[in-house]
Amino acid sequence: MSIRFDDRVAVITGAGNGLGRSHALFLASRGARVVVNDLGGAIDGTGADVGPAQAVADEIAAAGGEAVANTDDIAGEDGAKALVGTALERWGRCDIVINNAGILRDKSFHNMDLDDFKAVVKVHMLGSVRVTHEAWPAMREQQYGRVLMTTSAAGLYGNFGQTNYATAKMAVIGLMNALKQEGRKYNITVNTLAPIAGTRMGGTIFPDEVMPLLRPELVTPAVAYLVSEQCTDSGRIIAAGAGHYAAVAMVEGAGVDFDATTEVSPEMLAEAWAGITDLSAAAPYDEAMAAVQRIFANLSPGGGG
């Protein structure tokens, strides 16, 4: 099976450096036409420079591919519209959206200015919402689309000094979980990448000696598969980095059921706490109602205990 992207159009945000650059170069090498979006700012989101996006677009063109540079700010509604509009005007379609752009403004929550919180959320979360929202009508109309969100271990598990970043990175998983339902009948898949890579942002937390092992090129194969025609899974979270690839899932334990027709006290919960928090029989749910129906089972005759 050869995975290619001939005649597909990909919009990749934050593609001037690091992971986004790697994704853009790889998809283009497999036939995709790529809109290379990058504001060209610093890690904290300040400043702008057309250079990074243009350099990647030029590199793709020099290798015989098709690409156009774009420096619109996806944190704003007009920027997202212009970005997706670039793909539609240039090539008449938008098949793939890779929401990769992000900034960092790390600081403990106690010391964090709310403007720094909002700035990070605007890029990571609202930027993903806006770009996806602009591409969604075209994907529905053409009955095909591949959307990829980008989360991180900080969002999945937490990290000191990154409340703004972690909040935004967990939010895109909620976005994916809803969109996977809405995209299903239109052949639109929505998945999420949890990368570990030695990029400008990663360089702030990883020691120098491991950086060569955290090449973005070891993350990109997961991206390429998730946005390919061959991948029909939707709602997946895939961790990728340093040659390691694994599914991540939110699960619910078997839990403890009390009779819903009687009173339940906090003391009863305290006594049953070991069973409530036992994840040995945990399982994921594909949608919210499946989890709700599990609760409803406790209301059926003979339920509870």
Rounded to an integer, what distance in angstroms lies between the CA atom of residue 253 and that of residue 214? 34
Residues 60 and 96 reside in one and the same domain? yes
Residues 148 and 295 reside in one and the same domain? no
pLDDT at 294: 79
- Is 144 an active-site residue? no
Residues 114 and 261 reside in one and the same domain? no
What is the average pLDDT score of the chain? 94
Indicate which residue of 165, 186, 245, 285 is catalytic: 165
Alpha helices in 105-190 (DSSP H): 114-121, 127-142, 153-157, 163-183
Contact indicator for 32, 113 with CB cutoff of 8 Å? no
Q: What is the mean pLDDT of residues 211-219?
A: 91
Residues 290 and 209 reside in one and the same domain? no
CATH code for the domain of 264? 1.10.287
DSSP secondary-structure letter at 299?
Answer: G
pLDDT at 197: 86
* More reliable by pLDDT, 205 or 210: 210
Residues 283 and 235 reside in one and the same domain? no
pLDDT at 298: 67
Q: Would you call 67 helix, strand, or coil by DSSP?
A: strand
Confirm whether 3 is domain-assigned.
Answer: no
Contact indicator for 165, 121 with CB cutoff of 8 Å? no
pTM for this predicted structure: 0.94
pLDDT at 208: 79
Residues 52 and 82 reside in one and the same domain? yes
Residues 294 and 161 reside in one and the same domain? no
Confirm whether 77 is domain-assigned.
Answer: yes
Q: What is the mean pLDDT of residues 168-186?
A: 98
Half-sphere exposure of 221 (CA within 13 A, CB side): 11
17, 32, 29, 92: which is closest to 62 by C-alpha? 29
Alpha-carbon Rg for the chain in angstroms: 21
Residues 224 and 271 reside in one and the same domain? no
233: left (phi over 0), alpha (psi -120 to 50) or beta: beta
Structural domain total, the chain: 2
pLDDT at 292: 86
Confirm whether 135 is domain-assigned.
Answer: yes
Confirm whether 1 is domain-assigned.
Answer: no
CATH code for the domain of 13? 3.40.50.720
pLDDT at 206: 74
Rounded to an integer, what distance in angstroms lies between the CA atom of residue 13 and that of residue 4? 20
pLDDT at 126: 98
The four Cα atoms 38, 42, 47, 50 give a dihedral, to 10 degrees, of -30
Rounded to an integer, what distance in angstroms lies between the CA atom of residue 65 and that of residue 294? 50
Distance from CA of residue 243 to its chain's centroid?
Answer: 19
Residues 198 and 151 reside in one and the same domain? yes
Cα separations (Å) of 228 from 5, 111, 225, 273?
A: 7, 43, 5, 44
- Banded pLDDT at 304 (limits 50, 70, 90): very low
Q: Are strands 96-98 and 145-150 parallel, antiparallel or unpaired?
A: parallel
Assess whether pLDDT exceeds 70 at residue 203. no
Q: What is the mean pLDDT of residues 242-260?
A: 95
Residues 15 and 152 reside in one and the same domain? yes
Amino acid making up residue 106:
D
Helix (H) or strand (E) holding 9: strand 9-12
Which strands form 188-195's sheet, in the order they lie side by side? 66-70, 33-37, 9-12, 96-98, 145-150, 188-195, 237-241, 244-248
What range defines the domain where residue 295 resides?
251-299
Assess whether pLDDT exceeds 60 at residue 161. yes
Contact indicator for 97, 135 with CB cutoff of 8 Å? yes
Assess whether pLDDT exceeds 50 at residue 305. no
Confirm whether 2 is domain-assigned.
Answer: no
pLDDT at 211: 81
Which tokens is 29 given? 């090498």
Confirm whether 273 is domain-assigned.
Answer: yes
pLDDT at 300: 58
- Banded pLDDT at 201 (limits 50, 70, 90): low
Confirm whether 225 is domain-assigned.
Answer: yes
Residues 180 and 275 reside in one and the same domain? no
Residues 165 and 282 reside in one and the same domain? no
- Banded pLDDT at 137 (limits 50, 70, 90): very high
Confirm whether 4 is domain-assigned.
Answer: no
104, 118, 117, 69: which is closest to 200 by C-alpha? 104
Condensed to tens digits (0 to 9), the pLDDT of residues 26-47 reads 999 999 999 999 999 999 999 9
Q: What is the mean pLDDT of residues 236-243?
A: 97
Condensed to tens digits (0 to 9), the pLDDT of residues 58-116 reads 999 999 999 999 999 999 889 999 999 999 999 999 999 999 999 999 999 999 999 99
Contact indicator for 235, 260 with CB cutoff of 8 Å? no
> Pick from 248, 268, 283: which residue ends a domain?
248
